[in-house]
Chains A and B, each alone.
Chain A
Amino acid sequence: MGTAVGALILRRVAVSVPLLLLTSLLVFVLVANAGDPLADLRAQPDVAPEVIDAQRRALHLDEPVLARYGRWLASAVQGDLGTSIAGRDVAGLLWQRMQVTLRMIVLAVALAIGLGLAFGVVGAVRHYSRLDHSLTFLSYVALSLPVFWLAGLLKEFLAVRLNRLVGRQVLFTVGDADPNLTGPLLERLGNYLGHLALPTLALMAAPIAVFGRYVRASMLDALSADYVRTAEAKGASRPRVVVHHALRNALAPFATLVALNFAHLFAGAVIVERVFGWQGMGQMLLDGVRAADPNVVSAWLLVTATTVHLVNLLADVAYGWLDPRVRVG
């Protein structure tokens, strides 16, 4: 198995690296031609042309785009992602923003997996019951609601009203934590959770529905399969049949589904961060595009694309682990 997994990883890397290079080149060229990074500086009435020229040279904007890309790539492979138009270290900025975004995404993925599995299994085991119909209805509602709209509803109808009801700030609508947060650990933790709750809820609503529907369908197939009937006939308990026999088989393709949705979550995070005023990677991307800053956007792409590739790779490996037929194949 080790050799097969190793070969799989090598094949994936061999495909991913050129793909990443090509994508980064494309994005760099597009962003570099998207506007004037010094537009704000030029818009100031009292800035001398020499100052603008000096800034152009300092940012290498006077060089051809391909030369700038080459310079960026040479530095990037050595771990130096350059500086932004505003003069900030991009690697440091990226690390700072990644911590913010991953906090939201990791929690959203974990909850979506747990709840999606639970809803899917319950829906399959008690299919066509009132509970199953309710879960199905809620899933379609969650899938139909655009993230930004759901986020707005959560702010207006959950945060504001709940806070009024309890007479204190429990849920927050802006930022990932209060500024100058001090006090006992529990209080700080409560503040972080109060800021995290609504964005996570907005972000995980659709994945829960997708996962739940998928698991329900897979479980229904599995529960009607011969080997499940055989297990039941041999006297295996209902929970053992559901969890050990049916769910395990349903889980293998589910791993791929989670990996694919991981990329969607990054896209959703861009919107959620915007709506909740989080300064994460999504906001970093928007700022980079708005400032026509190829260093920032390319670094963003490098990290998100690599992360998505890694998650997909992990999903393939997990698929093999969960389904012996794939290993043999």
Chain B
Amino acid sequence: MSGIRSPDRRRARAAAVLVGVALVVGGCRAGDTTAPTGRSPAPAPSVRAGGTLTYASGQKLTGFNQHSPASASAFLYNLMTQVWPSTFNSAPDGQRVLNRELLLSAEQTSSSPQTVVYRIDRRAAWSDGDPLDGRDFVYLWRTAYTKGAKDIDGSEIAATAVSAQGVIESVSLSDDDRTVTVVFARPYPDWQSLFALLVPSHIAERVGWNRGFNEFDPAVVVSGGPFRIAGYRPDQDVTLVRNERYWERPANLDAIVIRILPDVGQLLPAMSNREIDLANLTNPSTDLVTQARTVPGLTVAFYELARYDRLHFNFRNDLLAMPEVRRAIALALDRPAILARLNGQLDPAKAKISNSRLYSPGERGYEDTSGGRYDRADPAGARRLLETAGFVRSADGIYARDSARMSFRILQQARVDELIQAQLREVGIEVRIQSSPNVVDAQRRGDFDLTVASRPTGAGGKAGETSQFLTGGAFNLGRYSNPAVDDLISLANSELDEARRQSLYLRADQVMWDDMPTLPLQQAIGVVIHRDTFSNIVPEIAGGLFVSANHWGLR
């Protein structure tokens, strides 16, 4: 679920938000416009029409405009994929596929300047009867994708898609506003991520961007998708009902009720009691999954996420700023043992070590760039590296050089911190566990030496997520900086040819295996739990579930 969260809720919640935002900003292969699937990539086994499904979410809504930072969340993104249409949707493997229910085509007609022409289905309309056309594209361009845009009250528009701001030179309309021609100011490989969750411009221009969608009003939050929002009780539930004015194949279910369950502990009793039918956990705990398997009538299915856990080294620490020290730590760690203790307990078949920083295993483009150097622990190699760098073992077995003792703090995180502590102690590196009331906050402030963090790899669109390896980039937790990596990633982020782009990312990753700014640990896995009476529930690698909700149905 875009939301039910296991322990360390803050971190998990932030991670979930990131997954959602990554979906929004994520893009795809240039030129992949002829994919055969439409809005919902999932195949559709036979299901009955009608019925209500109740979904559990651990997150709350703070508004309905996913493009606004005040409201954006993975939960809202999930929900709105059925309400506000996008030009491209996410397939289960994370790739972008043309939304054929909205568009007849979307073609890149020129690469210099990059030009894309969208042709909108003439039947497309909002649930209040207003046409869904090029004016909605223009509105999104002038608000979300334009820096310094003003709202109706003169205030500055706050939008999440900062990396897309300024990339569009012009948007022109023709063919009765049903053909949209977008000319880019600079090459933008992630163009398929643009015009996601189109906002009803005829309403937004009246109520405003920043505040107009903060409260629920059925006359304001109109739908251009298979479902419309029919009810909302703040902090409690949201009700989606079939949009009878949807011009394409109607949704199978009559309604989807989303109930807010802040405590994951409520989930299984509620499912046993038939109050909840479906949940999607992107950070599942072993206990919960084990219990879920014992509840009759529930299906428990794991899926790979385009996200991985990695150990961050903080370059603010003088010792960790030395590449030999970082590489020694990487050699000392037994990643297969860590995997076995973490995701291996959830689903050994799906548990995988990630050996790339820019792609996740299971994601198209994934390649092991490590050269096999860190496949298993090499304590002797780690000690050699340290001794070559001038470190000697002191009486207590911990390495030191001059007055610098090999002793680091690791942020307390369930299950993994003690494993790392024990493994590094074996080679003469001391690790002290540092508790923090808010791990994500401590990571952002750089208040750590070592920490394990999880981030998406941006399946379907890399540019937004690559900044974590750029000098001064967002989420560059350890302050890593290498101009060669900056250049390679920047080149890749503006490369329209997918093969060349992928090659540039892989070269950057190879450089990073030498630099070791982070050590990838394990690919994240999610779990979908649903009642057996429902079918066609297909999660996607980026963690979303709702994009195929119009296909969900009773067996």
Task: Annotate B96-107 by CB proximity to A: 1 below 8 A, 0 otherwise.
Answer: 000000000000
Task: Annotate B240-274 by CB proximity to A: 1 below 8 A, 0 otherwise.
Answer: 00000000000000000101111101100110111
Whether B237 pairs with A179 at a CB distance below 8 angstroms is: yes
Q: Does B116 contact A (CB under 8 A)?
A: no
Q: Does B205 contact A (CB under 8 A)?
A: no
Whether A45 pairs with B265 at a CB distance below 8 angstroms is: no
Q: Does A175 contact B (CB under 8 A)?
A: yes
Q: Which of B12-20, B33-41, B532-540 contacts A (4 or more CB under 8 A)?
A: B12-20
Chain B residues with CB below 8 A from A173, complex form: 266, 269-270, 273, 275
Whether B260 pairs with A48 at a CB distance below 8 angstroms is: no
> A45-B465, A86-B62, A179-B233 in contact; A156/B441 too (CB < 8 A)?
no
Chain B residue nearest in CB terms to A171: B273
Chain B residues with CB below 8 A from A171, complex form: 273
What does DSSP make chain B's interface, helix, strand, loop or mixed? mixed
Chain B residue nearest in CB terms to A274: B263
Task: Annotate B306-318 by CB proximity to A: 1 below 8 A, 0 otherwise.
Answer: 0000000000000
Interface size class of A (residues with CB under 8 A): 35 or more
Whether B17 pairs with A290 at a CB distance below 8 angstroms is: no
Task: Annotate A47-79 by CB proximity to B: 1 below 8 A, 0 otherwise.
Answer: 110110011000000000000000000000000
Q: Does B421 contact A (CB under 8 A)?
A: no
| B356 smallest CB distance to A (angstroms) | 19
Chain A residues with CB below 8 A from B261, complex form: 174, 277
- Complex formed: what's the CA distance from A129 to B266 in Å? 41
> A35-B438, A44-B17, A160-B273 in contact; A290/B25 too (CB < 8 A)?
no
> A45-B18, A277-B260 in contact; A179/B231 too (CB < 8 A)?
yes
Q: Which of B233, B237, B444 contacts A43 (CB 8 A)?
A: B444
Interface residues of A in 128-182 (CB under 8 A from B): 152, 155-156, 159-160, 163, 169, 171-175, 179-180
Whether B262 pairs with A39 at a CB distance below 8 angstroms is: no
> A45-B467, A51-B158, A179-B233 in contact; A283/B17 too (CB < 8 A)?
no
- Complex formed: what's the CA distance from A51 to B270 in Å? 39
Q: Which of A42, A45, A54, A174 contacts B444 (CB 8 A)?
A: A42
Q: Which of B82-90, B159-167, B381-389, B492-500 contacts A (4 or more CB under 8 A)?
A: B159-167
| A159 smallest CB distance to B (angstroms) | 6
Chain A residues with CB below 8 A from B260, complex form: 277, 279
Chain A residues with CB below 8 A from B156, complex form: 50, 54
Chain B residues with CB below 8 A from A45, complex form: 18, 21-22, 25, 464-465, 467, 474-475
Q: Does A36 contact B (CB under 8 A)?
A: yes
Whether B163 pairs with A159 at a CB distance below 8 angstroms is: no
Chain A residues with CB below 8 A from B162, complex form: 46-48
> A45-B474, A277-B262 in contact; A179/B236 too (CB < 8 A)?
yes
Interface residues of B in 475-511 (CB under 8 A from A): 475
Chain A residues with CB below 8 A from B467, complex form: 45
Q: Does B239 contact A (CB under 8 A)?
A: yes
Q: Does B437 contact A (CB under 8 A)?
A: yes
Whether B272 pairs with A290 at a CB distance below 8 angstroms is: no
Whether A277 pairs with B259 at a CB distance below 8 angstroms is: yes
> A35-B441, A45-B467 in contact; A160/B269 too (CB < 8 A)?
yes
Interface size class of B (residues with CB under 8 A): 35 or more
Q: Does A226 contact B (CB under 8 A)?
A: no
Chain A residues with CB below 8 A from B239, complex form: 179-180
Chain B residues with CB below 8 A from A180, complex form: 230-231, 239, 257
Whether A47 pairs with B259 at a CB distance below 8 angstroms is: no
Q: Does A329 contact B (CB under 8 A)?
A: no
> A160-B273, A179-B257 in contact; A39/B265 too (CB < 8 A)?
no
Q: Does B276 contact A (CB under 8 A)?
A: yes
- Complex formed: what's the CA distance from A274 to B69 in Å? 27
- Complex formed: what's the CA distance from A137 to B18 in Å? 52
Interface residues of A in 258-293 (CB under 8 A from B): 274-277, 279, 283, 286-287, 290
Whether B18 pairs with A274 at a CB distance below 8 angstroms is: no
Whether B265 pairs with A160 at a CB distance below 8 angstroms is: no
Q: Does A2 contact B (CB under 8 A)?
A: no
Q: Does B440 contact A (CB under 8 A)?
A: yes
Chain A residues with CB below 8 A from B475, complex form: 45
| B399 smallest CB distance to A (angstroms) | 35
Chain B residue nearest in CB terms to A172: B275
Chain A residues with CB below 8 A from B214, complex form: 87
Chain A residue nearest in CB terms to B73: A40
Chain A residues with CB below 8 A from B275, complex form: 169, 172-174
- Complex formed: what's the CA distance from A249 to B263 in Å? 45
Q: Which of A44, A174, A290 contacts B259 (CB 8 A)?
A: A174
> A51-B158, A174-B266, A179-B237 in contact; A43/B17 too (CB < 8 A)?
yes
> A173-B269, A290-B10 in contact; A40/B17 too (CB < 8 A)?
yes
Task: List 26 interface pairs A-B (beta carbons < 8 Å), by A numbering.
Answer: A34-B437, A35-B437, A36-B444, A39-B10, A39-B441, A43-B440, A45-B22, A46-B162, A96-B234, A152-B265, A152-B269, A155-B269, A155-B273, A160-B272, A163-B273, A163-B274, A169-B274, A174-B270, A174-B276, A175-B237, A179-B259, A274-B262, A277-B261, A279-B234, A279-B260, A283-B262
Q: A residues engaging B (CB < 8 A)?
A: 34-36, 39-48, 50-51, 54-55, 86-88, 96, 152, 155-156, 159-160, 163, 169, 171-175, 179-180, 274-277, 279, 283, 286-287, 290
User: What would 12 more interface pairs be, CB under 8 Å, given A50-B156, A88-B234, A174-B261?
Assistant: A39-B444, A45-B18, A47-B69, A51-B69, A51-B158, A86-B70, A160-B269, A173-B270, A173-B273, A174-B266, A277-B261, A290-B10
Q: B residues engaging A (CB < 8 A)?
A: 9-10, 13-14, 17-18, 21-22, 25, 62, 69-70, 72, 156, 158, 160-163, 214, 230-231, 233-237, 239, 257, 259-263, 265-266, 269-270, 272-276, 437-438, 440-441, 444, 464-465, 467, 474-475
